[in-house]
Each structure stands twice: as C-alpha cells, then as structure tokens.
Structure 1
C-alpha cells in the first residue's frame, strides 16, 4: 500500500500521489466530456504561462487527449525580474517529453512594446489603467491570433476553480448577467470567424490542487511574483479573501457554488443565440464590439500614444519550437 501524500478537504480522502494524479485527470476528463468542450478531431491550443495551472493543464490534457492534436503557446510579458528565459526553455522541454510542441512568443513581438515599456508610456500619459489590463488584453489577443493562424478548433486556458468562483461572485455583485452567462461552458454569446472558441478544462480544480499536482510531479514552475500584483483590482482581492475563508471553514463550498451555477445557467446557456456580424477595427482589422471604430487593444494603446502597434503594420509569423 502506497503512503498518503495528499488530503483533500472537499472529499475527505487521503490519497497517494498516483491516486491524486488520477483523481485530477478523471475530474478534468469528466468536465470536458460533460460539456463537450472538445469534439473528435479537434486541434487544441493550450495557453501555457509556465505556472502551476499551465503545467497541470499541459500534463492532464496530454493524458486525456492525443498529444499530437495539442499545441502549446507561451507568451512572455516582458516584465523585469518576472520573466526568465530558462522558464520558457524548461516548459518547451517538458512539453516535448509529453509529445506537445510549444510556441514561445512575447507581447513585445506582437505589439512592439513589452508590458514594462507600455507601463512607462502609461505613466508618461498619466494613465490610471493597470498593468493587468494592458497585459491581460494583449495576452487574450495574442492567444486568439495564434489559435486562428494555426487553424485550431479550440483555445484552452488554465483558469482554475478559484479563478472562476471569484469571477462569478464579482459578476453577481455587479449584476452583470451577460458576463456570468459567458462563464458557462455551453454559452456562446458571440460567433465570428476571427474568434476561436475558448474552453476551461480546469474550471472545477482547486488552485491548491494545481499547486500540489506540479509539486508532486516535480515540475519547475515560474515562482516569481509579478511586480505589478499590487495593481490587481481591490474587489477581486476582497472576494478572493472571503471565498478562501469560507472554503477553509466549509470545504467543498466553491465546488458546490460553481456546480449550482452551472445547473441554474444551463437552460439559458444552451439556448442563447450568439451575436454575429461584429465590426472590424479600422486600424488592425480585428473584431470590434458595439460599433466601435477601434478594437479594445488598439484603443488602450492609443491612450498611451501607441498608434502604430506592430500587429497593425505587419503579419507575425507563427512557428512552433
């Protein structure tokens, strides 16, 4: 009998390493199949940050799906003291051992400016927009661009249960039903040939579980904290703190919360008619919403004086390592 390595508060089980790996894999597989996240023959792009969630996504997806139908994407933000070249190199090496090719790119390669350089311009322009906003919107654009150029069917991100629960509570507090509905795996609110469908296979896996998974596997994860972390929205920080406290007092609460939301929203999510016919950005040609002339990324960059981002003046070559 193998010794227990992990105690799961939400299940009350003490598991050995192998049983823990099998448990995580089985739960992800069940979630993927339940919501038909992946169809037979799909090619899936995995968004891999190099952190605990990304490595868990990479490992588990290579177990439950054909590795040769998976492609990894690692985006270097360009933040001093945070991004390290050896981290990307280790990720590429680990992925290859699992049979998955990885593309490494950067925000600077796509936009023409790193996050640090964008923030320097933001300070000069007295912008109050956080680094997280510039970084997040840039990353989402790059992920969709690569997914489209590679011709994949789905884009998988490594959002975990904690992320999804926090976002759901924030959407409820703000009365944002559309964003809440968008979180449901069946909901497709917008349909456009330039936008690739996103999936979240880890949405029912706790953050502590992805941390434990990578530790027990011995993966070398990026552990440096982003220096811009202090700019995180205060509401999310407060919600996170309260949810963690409640979960520690009542194990399994986050799972029960997200499961209840899934059941409540399923009838609506399965019948929603996606919006089509999005406009196109006059600067870069990417989709725009609400009849705007500029897409969100071009709009943000223009606010700090960047009116000719690289992606608007030349096509980025897509190459896997």
Structure 2
C-alpha cells in the first residue's frame, strides 16, 4: 500500500495500520530504494513483520511497490516522506522493533553534514520510538559516514554500538550489489537504545472534518481590490525553520474569489497548499485552507493562512475574525 502523509494519524496506531496482524513486530526501512531488501529480510523472522518503508524518490516508491506486491508483501506500507518527519509524527513511543538504514546518502561535503540522517537528533528520536531491545541497523559502503554515525550515536547519550557483519539481505540491495561487484567491503553497525530521550510528537494533524477548526480568517476587501498583478511573497518565520512562499494567485472559476498557492517549508517537511479567498453572501471574504491535496495542518500551514491574510491587509482589507 502507498500512503500519503495525510493518510496517517499523528501518532498512528499499528492496529489501525495493520488490522490483520496488529501484534507482529514492526520494521521501518529508511530509504528502501527499489525495494530489494525487504523480500530477502522478511523471511528471516518467524512470522512476517509489519513493514513500513519511507523514501524520498517517487520513482523508487513505484518500483518498490511493484516488487513487494509481486513478492506477496503488498500489505506493507510505503510512503514518500522525510524519515525524521515520519518517525517523529507518525510512530508512537516505543512501537518499533527495528529501523533499517541501508546505504544512506553520505552527504560527503563538510558543509552538508547537517543533511545526514544519522546524527544526534535522529538517534535520540529513534531511541524514543524503539521498543526495549529494538535497534537501528546501519549498512554503508562509505567509511567516513560510518565513523561519523558511530560517533554521533555515542554523542547522543542514548545508544550503544555494536559492529559486525550486515544481514545477508542488506547485501542484495542495488548499491550493495554494485560495491560487491567492485570487490569493495561494507560497514555494519547495530545501534541499541540504552536510554529514552523524551522526544514528543509535534503539533501536526490532518485536515479536520469540522470546518470551524480549519485555519481561516474573515475580512472585508476594499472596493478597489483587483489583484491583476501578483508578486511572489517570501516570509521567514522568526526563531524557527519555517519559510512560507506565496507563489501565485489564481481567479476562482466557480465563485467570486481567488486561490493562492503557498509553498510551506518546515525543517525537512515541505507542503504545497492552496488557500482560498472566497466571497460570501454578506459581502465579506473567507480566507481558508483548502482541502485539495489532503494538507497536514502544521504551525507553518497555519502561518501561511496568516500570511495571505496579512498580504490582503496590506492592500486595504479589514479583518473581522482570525481563526488560525
């Protein structure tokens, strides 16, 4: 199965995700590529675990979905998301048995090390989401990244490190086969939590069915309001990693009003959302997050509704109500 972010709950219940096998071990694979690892790794368990795979490549997502379905593993869940967003927002505390990271992007340039997955914050986050006795399994061909990950695990204060041979299944992945053909070795480590950092879930929720809770504002537009020209607006929220870019404005085809396309960047999570500016019978206009695309309501998305409202205020609109 392929899930969008909006298909999850925050956090989610394994019994909801896997209603037929709620009590089985839960394995998360980060960066599953074309899906070669899981068909080899799943049979090493007494019963097939519940599987959740996360990947950034849409092409890989489709390839892996076909491969797992052909192998009779179609009950696993695949999603296209940043790994830390998925682990932080979707995974309950103490729910995972194993996190597998095979051949992650090493981001080899010095100025890019902050993009690496296996750093102190992720180890602390993962420790809070793993069951007692659970582990992160890392296999990589990149020596420097391996040493970096081991150092970061020790620095996290919540992980012990055991090096050794990788699972045989890790040597069947696309990159493992490439390096094996070249006669090169790989590194493997098992990171086991020794403590649990209290990493909470964030302020994230799906688009609600209850309309009053959707971020919105009610305002009166000036009589001279004719937005024929629109310049891109970029807003960087103070003391946060959130950036909001209002990209474009479109006239509505169905009713009096417009639709704004907003690009919302919150750390590793990026969403494109539509914010409607819709005329009402009393002459006011409603500024509201649209349901199209299944947006996730985050602090940044709320701020995007506020940014559209502030832009309209700068053009002479008078706000009567704010609900964001």
TM-score, L = length of structure 1: 0.35
Higher relative contact order (CA 8 A, sep 6+): 1
Indicate the structure with greater strand content.
2
The structure with more radius of gyration: 2
Indicate the structure with greater helix content.
1
